[in-house]
Amino acid sequence: MQTALQFGPVLIHLDRLLVGVWQTIQLAVLSILLGTVIGTLGAIGRSFGPRWVSWPIAAYVELIRNTPLLIQLYFVFFTLPLIGLKFSSGTAAILALSIHLGAYATEILRAGVQSVPVGQIEAAKSLGLSSYRIIRHVVLVPAVRAVYPALSSQFILQLMGTSIVGAIAAEELTAIANNLVMQTFRSFEVYIVIAVIYFVLVQAASLVFAGLGRLLFRWKN
Amino acid sequence: MSLRDFGPNELMFLIMATRWTILLALIAFAGGGVIGLVVAALRVAPLPPLRWLAAGYIQFFMGTPILIQLFMAYYGSSLLGFRPDPWAAAAVTFSLNGGAFFGEIFRGSIDAVPKGQWEASTALGLRFIPTLRLVILPQAVRLMLPPTVGFMVQIVKTTSVASLIGLTELARAATQINTVTFQPVLVFGTVSLIYFMLCWPLSLYAGYLERRVGEGVAVKTRKPLLLAS
Amino acid sequence: MPNRLKRVLAGLALALVAMLPAVAVAQTVDEIIARGKLIIAVDTTTPPYGFLDAELKPTGFDIEVANKMGEALGVPVEFVTVTSPGRIPALLTKQVDAVVSIFSITPARAIQIDYSIPYAGQSAVVIAPKSTAISGHADLVGKKVGLTRGTAEDGILTAAAEANPGIEILRFDDYASLLQAMVSGQIDAMGGGDYGEIYLKKAQNGDDFEQKYKLKTFYFGIGVAKGNDNLRQWLNTWLFTLKSDGVLADLSMKYRNQPLPDLPVF
């Protein structure tokens, strides 16, 4: 019976919650890195690749972006073992999260790539730069700079998306919060504390991405 | 309890559950839309405290995971003396959450309307709300449409999270059917297909709307989008 | 930042207060009969006690007990579905008359609600494929053990994991996910109720599943709001007749394919 809010029983377990914060950050960072790599390859393949490359990528993007992350998690964790791919909860979570972000990142970066004036690429070709160099310096850098705000927003969404991986028994902040609720029966207090922690995480992440953006894109055209 | 193969009965169960997914999405759209209009109006209101209230509301609902908001509504309701009902909790949460996102979308398009329109309205003697209603919003509506339809796709997908507070919709039906058939490829494959059929048309429509607005906007602005980098 | 947070919390409180008030409810047997219906909370995702049949209607051991309760009182039954965490709040807020939902009798819960005498019993057990040799906590070391969050198995096996380092515990939100994990081979063993359907499936290596050892035997009681002695006394009387007439034993064979354990009373 809860009549008054009591935060005491929750706050003594702050150490467990901080473990959860660390796990959440790990999930987010790893899946963001992997997802961005997937997205970069996808955007390039989609924009410059032959049809047998760009069409499967487009299909992947449409499929992932139009189905829920939860179902993708269930698929990786419960279905893949049937064909011999048995991943642990944590690995499955990172895999599904990366594939999820990869689709969004592909779309976002593709828009960025297409915003690079064709003339730039042709000028680079005529200067004799290798394909790799062209893609890296002439296409990717301006592309990422153009869509950086959209990309950072997607990263923030990814951070919050980690909250549902408890459905496949992966450990992170929300799962630990649920354990705490079962233990202390102080559901509302636990979730208020968790909400505050996520809020702080999101603000911190926004600052980090903003700072990173200023650092990476110091020079303007 | 017998074990069944995934057949027409099970498929029917999934399709019936899709009704609840659609219902929750519509509630989120309606409730969120109305709240979003209010929030957007507050965000551009002349009184600073109103702007801060709206900004704080948006920050909270956009800056915390919706699952946490759902848990708070579900368990918190018992504190206030209400029976914890997944539907009530989900309806309230999705409306409030949607209200924050729609508020931002609406505000963005309101801001895109040239400031001159506000000044002209004041010169004509119109106060804040009539200005908003008669002059600003009609012009902002065109810009609002693409992100609004795009967010609808998000809403449909996010209804799956309501399964985690026990609400029976498509994602929950999927796990229930899988427990009876243990044929995950068929079950999750079918469920993915159903979600895809709900979301993809909306995504395509949002893309179409965006292209239509883009043509108009490119004509109106002075700088072509290409030089945005 | 603090100002903004205050405003944000104020906004949230406003939102919660705006939720619709719930239906008023009767408490005593007379009030229930006068009201003309019996409101019972059940869970339709916990076979064989509560589940949906092929026509998607609620059925199961608990559902039949609830229906018989209505028959005995002469009123129709209105079912309200809850999940495990929602059972106690449903009674605390007096929004249902009773909870019939594999409600294990524990002292902690009895602080907040009242129980009838047991009407069924179930053991929490450890289940694993036939070929896996497990006879006690120590054999779980080096294995992945799944369980449902917040259940009694959670308490027992978590303590076991602390006493025997090397046991990896995977906590799922519901029984359905736990079952899927077991069948897909994501966990080596599970702690759960001794229900029937896991035995109908085979493990990834083709083995049948079998019960390895008992964790604890639970007794299910019908939950009522604290202090509702009027209803509770009627329930105890009614359950006594149900037991002595053999009705409960028949239900047990029908849904669990097992006889009822001895049901002590208090």
Distance from CA of B130 to the nearest CA of A (A): 34
* C171 → closest Cβ in A175, A181, A199: A175
Question: Which residue is closest to C149 within chain A, CA to CA?
Answer: A179
Residue C71 token pair: 């028959």
Q: Where are the alpha helices (DSSP H) in C81-192?
A: 87-92, 107-110, 152-163, 175-184
* B56 → closest Cβ in C4, C86, C174: C4
Q: Which residues, at least 6 apart from A180, have a Cβ–Cβ distance to it below 8 Å? A: A10, A13, A16, A17, A190
Q: Do B157 and A67 touch (CB under 8 A)?
A: yes
Report the DSSP beta bridge partners of residue C126.
C191, C213
For residues A115 and A43, what is the distance between their CA atoms, to the nearest angstrom?
Answer: 12
- On the question of pLDDT at C22 being above 50, the answer is no
For residues C222 and C25, what is the distance between their CA atoms, to the nearest angstrom?
Answer: 17
**Contacts with B180 from chain C: Cβ below 8 Å:** 197
Q: Do B3 and C200 touch (CB under 8 A)?
A: yes
Query: How confident is the prediction along chain B (229 residues), in pLDDT tens digits per residue?
Result: 346 778 888 888 899 999 999 999 999 999 999 999 999 989 888 889 999 999 999 999 999 999 999 999 988 776 676 666 788 899 999 999 999 999 999 988 888 888 888 888 888 888 888 888 888 888 888 888 889 999 999 999 999 999 988 888 999 999 888 877 888 899 999 999 999 999 999 999 998 988 887 665 443 333 333 333 3
- To the nearest 10 degrees (0 to 180), the angle between helices B137-158 and B86-112 is 150
For residues A203 and A196, what is the distance between their CA atoms, to the nearest angstrom?
Answer: 11
For residues C104 and C223, what is the distance between their CA atoms, to the nearest angstrom?
Answer: 9
State the distance between the two ends of chain C, measured CA to CA, in whole angstroms. 55
Q: Do C186 and A167 touch (CB under 8 A)?
A: no
For residues A17 and C93, what is the distance between their CA atoms, to the nearest angstrom?
Answer: 30
Report the 3 state secondary structure along chain B: CCCCCCCHHHHHHHHHHHHHHHHHHHHHHHHHHHHHHHHHHHHCCCCHHHHHHHHHHHHHHHHCCHHHHHHHHHHHHHHCCCCCCHHHHHHHHHHHHHHHHHHHHHHHHHHHCCHHHHHHHHHCCCCHHHHHHHHHHHHHHHHHHHHHHHHHHHHHHHHHHHHHHCCCCHHHHHHHHHHHHCCHHHHHHHHHHHHHHHHHHHHHHHHHHHHHHHHHHHHHCCCCHHHHC
* B71 → closest Cβ in A146, A191, A221: A191
Q: Is the peptide bond before C48 cis (omega within 30 degrees of 0)?
A: yes
Residue B119 token pair: 């000044």
Hey, what amino acid is at C205? N
Q: What is the pLDDT of residue B99?
A: 95
Report the complex ipTM.
0.88
Q: What is the pLDDT of residue A6?
A: 78
Residue B144 token pair: 């609002």
Burial of A29 (0-12, 13-18, 19+ CB in 10 A): middle
Q: How far is CA C39 from the centre of its chain?
A: 18
Q: Do A169 and C181 touch (CB under 8 A)?
A: yes
Cβ-based neighbour number of residue A100 at 10 Å:
23
- On the question of pLDDT at C108 being above 80, the answer is yes
Q: Do B82 and C93 touch (CB under 8 A)?
A: yes
For residues A172 and A181, what is the distance between their CA atoms, to the nearest angstrom?
Answer: 14
More confident residue, C83 or C2: C83
pLDDT digits (tens, 9 = 90+) for A14-73: 899 999 999 999 999 999 999 999 999 999 999 888 999 999 999 999 999 999 999 999
Q: What is the pLDDT of residue C23?
A: 47
- On the question of pLDDT at C20 being above 50, the answer is no
Mean pLDDT of C17-39: 71
Q: Do C201 and B175 touch (CB under 8 A)?
A: no
3-state secondary structure of C209: strand
Distance from CA of C58 to the nearest CA of A (A): 25
Q: Do B191 and A71 touch (CB under 8 A)?
A: yes
pTM score above 0.90: no
Residues of chain A whose pLDDT is less than 70?
A: 1-4, 218-221
* CA dihedral of A57, A60, A62, A68, whole degrees rounded to 10: -150
Among B78, B177, B199, B229, the residue to mutate for chain A (most A Cβ within 10 A): B229
Mean pLDDT of C110-133: 90
- On the question of pLDDT at C18 being above 50, the answer is no
Q: What is the pLDDT of residue A3?
A: 56
Q: What is the pLDDT of residue B25?
A: 96
Residue C179 token pair: 């079952």
- On the question of pLDDT at C226 being above 80, the answer is yes
For residues B59 and B101, what is the distance between their CA atoms, to the nearest angstrom?
Answer: 10
Helix (H) or strand (E) holding C34: helix C29-35
For residues A129 and C46, what is the distance between their CA atoms, to the nearest angstrom?
Answer: 65
Which partners does chain B have (≥3 C-beta pairs < 8 Å)?
A: A, C
Cα dihedral across residues A76, A82, A87, A89: positive or negative: positive
For residues A203 and A191, what is the distance between their CA atoms, to the nearest angstrom?
Answer: 18
